[in-house]
Structure 1
Amino acid sequence: MQDIENMNIPETSDLIAGIRFDGEQGKIWFNEQRMLLIHAAVMGLLRKELIETLGVQRAKRFLMRFGYHSGMKDAEIARKVRPHIAREECFMAGPQMHGIRGMVKVVPTRLELDMASGHFLGEFDWFNSYEADVHQHEFGQSEEPICWTLLGYASGYTSYFMGQTIIYKEVGCVAMGGDHCSIIGKPAHEWEDKAEIEKFMLPDPVAEELFALRSELVKLRDSVGDDSEDDYRVFNSIGQSAAFRQVCKLIQKASSSRVTVLLQGETGVGKEVFARGLHVASERADKPFVAVNCACIPPDLIEAELFGVEKGAYTGATQSREGKFERANGGTIFLDEVVELSPRAQASLLRVLQEGELERVGDVRTRNIDVRVVTATNEDLQQAVQEGRFRADLFYRLNIFPVYIPALRERKEDIPLLVQHFLERYQAIYNKRTLGVTDRAREALLEYDWPGNIRELENLIERGIILTDNNNEIEVCSFFPSFKDSDSAVGKVRQDGSLREVAICADGDKDDWCAQLLAEGGSLETLEKSLIRHALKAAEGNVSKAARALGLTRPALAYRMKKLEQS
């Protein structure tokens, strides 16, 4: 057990360093979470409206839950900012962040904390509570403690750290005429009125009923269809952007006919998903769907794979077998990368489209075939015709109903939905539960150009799930390992389809600083030595911490240190 008298409480400099103001983009960052800077008086008006609209008890419940979730978020950040100190000492980041936020000055008077046994007893004095000030301004003196948001924050923060529900009570309040506010916190089961206190941390039942009713309405609409949406969604499709809806509408219209569809778009946009959607929405839904990637089959075998082969047709053909088209008979065949078809296979495909018949390789018998053909390519087929790589008459047959599937960078409104979809999928696969992605990571995903489209996004989400511990948010570095953060303002640029950051001096005078360095005869080696020396000094010799400050891995910094020592 550790008490407050022998606890080594860190300074607040590392927490303050995590705050970055990006006025150019209209954002404030604390670690990887976006923050807001608002007037305390405005919070007072919000409290007033909540009390007058919902009543005191419901307003209290709402504000305590608001504070509770804020405390949980800060507790998660604290562990990331201070990963190398004892968990008990790291706990003090919460009271410190309370002060940094301008909410209240926290002075611990008693703290008994034992992570192993789960014992916790905390007593704190609060000075300059913003919540007491704004409440007194609007309502005057109170008959009971009113620092509800701050109380919820303390409970949420401590509960996260202890891994159990810790409840605080405010036993003294400035709004009641005291010199300062005071709180006491201990595990929920140690309070005699546990049930009464805990109910303030639970969602308001009225709000829950409204959410439940809304959920029921959404499910009902999904089950019976919604004419206002024109039933635009297709099988396993995710999106809501205008570009996505347009594609879905075209697929829906094509599904009610026999027309051959040509899906165009970059690699990874989900052409097979739309092909399956077309099949499922058609009258052939109960028949086979066969997908073929033409680029994966050697040119000398592709005709036999697609149209079948008779025994003895060539060396190795020891028995007759049907091809992909016969397996798809009555249903749909999807030919991806159709531009890779050999000239003979192109001729055979044209015959299927025109006459509805095929011949196996080495056979003399004609077979009738009823199959819906959907093709896809990420190349310009018309350009392939001009180059002599693709038959013009086949192109005209395939191009009857072309559908362009937009790249992910053209439908970025759909990224949050896709992220949530893949999070749920891979959390189930890896039996993990994350808290989603950080604000910074979400912004990086939205700003990235996605050269690999949806397939690349899916791969990044899977990587993020693997690298993130249970009950934590996925950070930007789990998606983009080369992403470097900076204590100064940060500007992002796109280059060759990748995301990187360039640091901008906080005073905006980087050119003058560079010119001065050169005028003084400074070298890159000297500058590197100085940066490393200052980083190590600030980190008190901790190489890992210095590496993070410099945006390097620990091995990379160790290598640079060794190289500079030898020079």
Structure 2
Amino acid sequence: MDIKDYPDIQDLRALIRFSEKDGTIWLAENRMVLMHNASLAALRKELIDSVGRDHARRVLTRMGFASGVRDAELAKRVRAGRSLEDGFFVGPQLHMLEGVARVVPVALEIDVPAGHFYGEFLWESSWEAEAQVADYGNDPEPACWMHIGHASGYASAFMDRFILFREVECAASGANHCRIVGKPVEAWDDAAEYTPYFEADSLLNRLLELRHQVDYLRSSIVQQTLTPHMVGASRAFRQAYDLVQKAAASNVSVLLLGETGVGKERFARTLHALSARKNGPFVAINCAALPHDLIESELFGAEKGAYTGAQAARMGKFERADGGTLFLDEIGELPLAAQAKLLRVLQEGEIERLGDDRTRKINVRLVTATNVNLHEAVGQGRFRADLYYRLNVYPIHIPPLRERIADIPPLVEAMLERFYTLHEKRLLGVTDKAMQFLKAHPWPGNIRELENMLERGVILAPQGGWIEVEHLFSHIPQAGEQDAAVCSAGHLQVEDSPEAGELAERFFSSGLSLEQLEAMLLNESMRRAEGNMACAARRLGITRPQLAYRLKKEPGACVPPAPH
């Protein structure tokens, strides 16, 4: 087919955001990094010198492939509804926008339903070719490995089948430019010579395997292996976990402190699992969820006829936990009468059922938890001082999630795997921007809030796609405000030009205020997009949540009706 000029690149430029306040650069929802070309070339050279040409080529090819796949995912969204060629050209245009090389299309034949693909492009000013020549001189073999990986990854993700690009000419070999050709892998007679570079590196796999063995031995020596249901890597989390490990070796009563939703019961279960009582029962009870007149019978048991409705003798939680661990959550809500009996149990190691005068010996490890300040409750007369001092022998403060930012990525990964199975969905994960939002959120509900938010994201995200900001944050205005805080602190850099000056002069002479201009642009964008907020947002170079927030904020802007 004859190649036309590229589509206008303004829709891609509008996706770029520089946020100097929080040190991030964004391409749509993908976080980017702007770095010196010389630094990247130095890293490439060190990799080649360290592991050899073949292994370095494999690593760089796979790195480019992964980048190409991400760009293809963006391409499918940014030009949805346009021709296949316009959609595919997002890749070459992004390659140029990212400063990789000037990409000149020569031929493109693309038929996704039939699985047919043929692409031929020229690369001019390829940074990888220039780096190869600068470090090693002219090379008889093509050297743009990352670029080839990107082209192959992009086309493969776009076509949903493996498209192998090869560099048939390379500037590093003395050619005037680099020329690449891409076809389905089975269309290449010598594909077997090139496909190994897209596979995992056996040398690196061995190195990783050795590293895992060393890590395992080290963890065995220091006994730092986390239990399966505990996830965290932050210093605050490790400090709390280390205290749990040390307490597990004894029978000391433990008091877990922290806000609602920080995972106090998980820590209690971990303490039980690490202790010598792990084969015994673990019994948990929420003191705040029980009526006051039933708490004593729930804790200590009752004999038949002890109170109205007691038609049979029953064991209490202490007896059920005999030989194991009893976890009393929200201990601060325990009434004073029950506090007195609990103190006696801790001192004597025996209980009496309601309506019985016989004592029963018990062997129970008590773990309590609260989100209230027990010291203040003692001063207010709501909690017994002697019980407080008995429980406060070994306090462990579990930090809130906002103080454990480093724990958010592994928590997200672990929770998503569970929700994928629960809801029978396979997704690609959360976008870079969504992860940035998660890290910036204050988390008043802590881990429980994170869990609920991620489950919502899994349900709303399209099958096989990414979980985006709008899937996680249900209140669009709040998401818009966060988007302003996280992403729009930076702005698209506009070059000085006569056109820009003329446009500014027309605005100043119009007599419109900035608010009126914004409302006019919002209305016109929505009109041209026929009410499609996602399309209108792309036209304006902002996200959909940002547009929704502005439409509600601007009194002169039209707000699309809610769907019925």
Q: TM-score when scaled to structure 1?
A: 0.85
The CA distance in 1 between the partners of 2:559 and 2:161, in whole Å, is 48
1:73 corresponding residue in structure 2: 70
Distance 1:136 1:247, change over 3 A: closer
Q: Which of 320, 323, 336 is the matching residue for 1:330?
A: 323
Tell me if 1:100 matches 2:97. Answer: yes
1:115 corresponding residue in structure 2: 112
Matches within 5 A, 1:133-212: 133-212=130-209
Tell me if 1:247 matches 2:237. Answer: no
Farther off after superposition, 257-266 or 177-186: 177-186
Q: Secondary structure at the match of 1:226?
A: helix
Q: Which of 424, 433, 443 is the matching residue for 1:450?
A: 443
The CA distance in 2 between the partners of 1:198 and 1:89, in whole Å, is 28
**Shift in Å, 1:327:** 0.8
2:221 corresponding residue in structure 1: 226
1:217 corresponding residue in structure 2: 214
Tell me if 1:124 matches 2:121. Answer: yes
1:139-162 per-position Cα deviation (integer Å, ceiling 9, x unaligned) = 443323332222111101001111
**Shift in Å, 1:272:** 0.9
Matches within 5 A, 1:308-347: 308-347=301-340
Tell me if 1:11 matches 2:18. Answer: no
User: In 2, are the aligned partners of 1:476 and 1:483 still within 8 Å (CA)?
Assistant: no
The CA distance in 1 between the partners of 2:187 and 2:277, in whole Å, is 64
The CA distance in 1 between the partners of 2:303 and 2:296, in whole Å, is 12
1:475 corresponding residue in structure 2: 468
**Shift in Å, 1:93:** 0.5
The CA distance in 2 between the partners of 1:436 and 1:373, in whole Å, is 40
Q: Which of 384, 396, 400 is the matching residue for 2:389?
A: 396
User: In 1, are the aligned partners of 2:284 and 2:329 still within 8 Å (CA)?
Assistant: yes
Amino acid at match of 1:179: N
Q: Which of 411, 421, 424 is the matching residue for 1:418?
A: 411
Structure 2, unmatched stretches of 5+, are 495-503
**Shift in Å, 1:473:** 3.9
The CA distance in 1 between the partners of 2:100 and 2:311, in whole Å, is 81
2:255 corresponding residue in structure 1: 262
1:347-371 per-position Cα deviation (integer Å, ceiling 9, x unaligned) = 2212211222222223333322222
Q: Secondary structure at the match of 1:311?
A: coil
1:497 corresponding residue in structure 2: none
Distance 1:504 1:28, change over 3 A: closer
Tell me if 1:28 matches 2:18. Answer: no
1:146-190 per-position Cα deviation (integer Å, ceiling 9, x unaligned) = 322221111010011111110011222333443332221111111
Amino acid at match of 1:334: F
User: In 2, are the aligned partners of 1:4 and 1:112 still within 8 Å (CA)?
Assistant: no
2:525 corresponding residue in structure 1: 535
**Higher-RCO chain (CA-CA 8 Å, sequence separation at least 6):** 2
Amino acid at match of 2:241: C
User: In 2, are the aligned partners of 1:235 and 1:274 still within 8 Å (CA)?
Assistant: no
1:546 corresponding residue in structure 2: 536
Q: Secondary structure at the match of 2:366?
A: strand
Q: Secondary structure at the match of 2:138?
A: coil
**Shift in Å, 1:555:** 8.7
The CA distance in 1 between the partners of 2:193 and 2:51, in whole Å, is 19
Q: TM-score when scaled to structure 2?
A: 0.86
1:301 corresponding residue in structure 2: 294
CA RMSD of aligned residues (A): 3.5
Q: Which of 361, 367, 371 is the matching residue for 2:364?
A: 371
Structure 1, unmatched stretches of 5+, are 493-499
Q: Secondary structure at the match of 1:358?
A: strand
Distance 1:268 1:521, change over 3 A: same
Farther off after superposition, 311-320 or 233-242: 233-242
2:432 corresponding residue in structure 1: 439
Q: Secondary structure at the match of 1:183?
A: strand
Q: Secondary structure at the match of 1:167?
A: strand
Q: Secondary structure at the match of 2:168?
A: strand
Farther off after superposition, 456-465 or 117-126: 456-465
Amino acid at match of 2:215: V
1:326-360 per-position Cα deviation (integer Å, ceiling 9, x unaligned) = 11112111100012122332222122112222222
User: In 1, are the aligned partners of 2:104 and 2:123 still within 8 Å (CA)?
Assistant: yes
2:497 corresponding residue in structure 1: none
**Shift in Å, 1:135:** 2.8
Q: Secondary structure at the match of 2:18?
A: strand
